[in-house]
Amino acid sequence: MISFIAKLLVALNSNSRPGELASGIAFGLLLAFIPSGNLLWFAVFIIAFFIKHNIAALLLSMGLFRLFIPIFDPMLDRFGGVVLELSVLQNFFTVLYNIPFLSYSNFNNTVVMGGFLLGIIFWIPVFSLFTVLIKIYRKKIAPKVANSKIVKFLKKIPIVSKISASIQKLSFLAS
């Protein structure tokens, strides 16, 4: 866990492209919206590893977003139910369900369908928002935080000094 945080902090403060971090966060949101344990979640998870983005950002954001997903479950259920009950798509869903192994994706579950579609819909706004926020952080906030008295005090705490050492080690390896 500490190494993921260290990798994320290194990426956040390094010269890596903001889009890579934002993409990881957006995929974390998509994976958090889809209930795990079905073929659809595993397929998106595997696809996420073939795309260039920050894996630490993906895993940490997925964990953080998962904490808030129970609040959105009723909305996901209603949205998925509306989509699955569209008469225009009934034949399409029937064909998909009859494809071998595709039924294990649980796409016919209202929460899975709602989570998948809302995750895809929110992907671009989340990506855009975090790209802008990372640029603002790097330009205006990071220099102030690095030189603050609080950060200097926190570096004296053993666990924080270990994280700081990991960050410095990863920064050295990255350059």
Residue type, 134: I
Residue extents of the structural domains in the chain = 2-142
DSSP state of 141: I
**Gap between the Cα atoms of 115 and 145, Å rounded:** 36
pLDDT in tens, 97-143: 898 888 888 888 999 999 999 999 999 999 999 999 988 988 888 77
Residue 153 is predicted with a pLDDT of: 75
Residue 66 is predicted with a pLDDT of: 94
Residue 131 is predicted with a pLDDT of: 94
Residue 103 is predicted with a pLDDT of: 81
Residue 172 is predicted with a pLDDT of: 55
Residue 149 is predicted with a pLDDT of: 77
* Residue pair 23/131 in contact by the 8 Å Cβ criterion: no
Quick one: tokens of 47? Answer: 């696809």
Residue whose tokens read 């989340």: 126
Quick one: tokens of 175? Answer: 């350059």
Residue type, 151: V
**Gap between the Cα atoms of 175 and 171, Å rounded:** 6
**Gap between the Cα atoms of 111 and 109, Å rounded:** 6
**Gap between the Cα atoms of 87 and 110, Å rounded:** 15
Helix intervals (H) in 85-106 = 90-97
Alpha-carbon dihedral angle through residues 21, 23, 29, 31, given to the nearest 10 degrees: -110
Per-residue pLDDT tens listing for the chain (175 residues): 566 666 666 666 666 788 889 999 999 999 999 998 889 999 999 999 898 888 888 998 999 999 999 999 999 999 999 999 999 999 999 998 898 888 888 888 999 999 999 999 999 999 999 999 988 988 888 777 767 777 677 667 777 677 767 766 655 555 5
Quick one: tokens of 73? Answer: 């479950």
- Let me know the angle formed at the C-alpha of 59 by 130 and 170, rounded to the nearest 5 degrees: 85
**Gap between the Cα atoms of 17 and 57, Å rounded:** 13
